[in-house]
């Protein structure tokens, strides 16, 4: 399954499993992809980022539980790169993705479908299924435009386009970024387990998020 690396290290006399997961952060230019990554990884926000050229990436380490350490490679892919020949290389071996739009600019939401389609065409999991993908409506601390104002229609949109869920986020105010990432990583872990264990996975093995099974359709989290 992609470039997942599993290692074992001694921790307190026991074995600690490590995973390395590559996650893409894609979407139109100026939607706040870099700001989201900086907030998530460094707990930092600035209004003065320069536009990403090509691709950049950051590393986030999660002590997921007593037995599991997760390293996330977050690949920040420039908005103008969608039609470039390099995107297939950038996408290679990814196991999850965020597609980001700007809730203050409806045009960036209109481009979401193209980004999702491009993602699905260029990378799949080892079982041939699409990589888990969460839709982020960023800058929710500002006035919103378009469909994001209607939660039920957003739910339907995500279901139709194959997003596993959506969140309104704000890098400036640190709203829903950790929650969206935890939800996506939970789904990646479920996919990883399913691909490795196949039919041996039992219903009781389902990982819960906020007490709910995230596999039961799209999850949404509003801004406020």
* pLDDT at residue 149, rounded to an integer: 85
* pLDDT at residue 87, rounded to an integer: 78
* pLDDT at residue 165, rounded to an integer: 98
For the question of whether the overall pTM of this predicted structure is more than 0.85, the answer is no
Q: For residue range 75-101, list pLDDT tens digits in order.
A: 998 766 665 666 788 899 999 999 999
* pLDDT at residue 145, rounded to an integer: 85
Rounded to 5°, angle at Cα 89 from 93 and 30: 100
Rounded Cα distance between 36 and 66, Å, is: 27
Q: For residue range 45-79, list pLDDT tens digits in order.
A: 766 556 555 578 899 999 999 999 999 999 998 76
* pLDDT at residue 81, rounded to an integer: 60
Q: How confident is the model at residue 43 (pLDDT cuts 50, 70, 90)?
A: confident
Residues 6 or more apart whose CB falls under 8 angstroms from that of 197 comprise none
Find how far residue 123's CA is from the centre of its chain: 14
- Identify the CATH number of the domain defined by range 17-193: 3.40.50.300
C-alpha distances in angstroms, 105 versus 22, 80, 109, 189? 28, 17, 7, 33
Q: What is the CA radius of gyration of the chain?
A: 17
């Amino acid at each position: 399954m992609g470039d997942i690396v599993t290692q074992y290290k001694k921790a307190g006399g026991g074995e600690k499993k490590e995973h390395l997961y590559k996650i893409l952060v894609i979407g139109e230019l100026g939607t706040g992809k870099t700001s989201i990554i900086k907030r998530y990884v460094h707990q930092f926000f600035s209004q003065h980022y320069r536009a990403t050229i090509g691709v950049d990436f950051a590393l986030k380490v999660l002590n997921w539980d007593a037995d599991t350490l997760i390293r996330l490679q977050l690949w920040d892919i420039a908005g103008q790169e969608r039609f470039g020949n390099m995107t297939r290389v950038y996408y290679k071996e990814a196991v999850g993705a965020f597609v980001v739009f700007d809730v203050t600019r409806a045009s960036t939401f209109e481009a979401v479908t193209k980004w999702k389609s491009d993602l699905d065409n260029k990378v799949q999991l080892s079982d041939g299924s699409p990589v888990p993908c969460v839709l982020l409506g960023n800058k929710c601390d500002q006035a919103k435009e378009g469909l994001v104002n209607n939660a039920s229609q957003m739910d339907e949109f995500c279901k139709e386009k194959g997003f596993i869920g959506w969140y309104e986020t704000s890098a400036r105010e640190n709203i829903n970024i950790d929650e969206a990432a935890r939800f996506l990583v939970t789904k990646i872990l479920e996919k990883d387990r399913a691909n490795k264990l196949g039919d041996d996975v039992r219903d009781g093995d389902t990982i819960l998020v906020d007490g709910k099974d995230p596999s039961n359709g799209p999850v949404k989290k509003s801004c406020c």
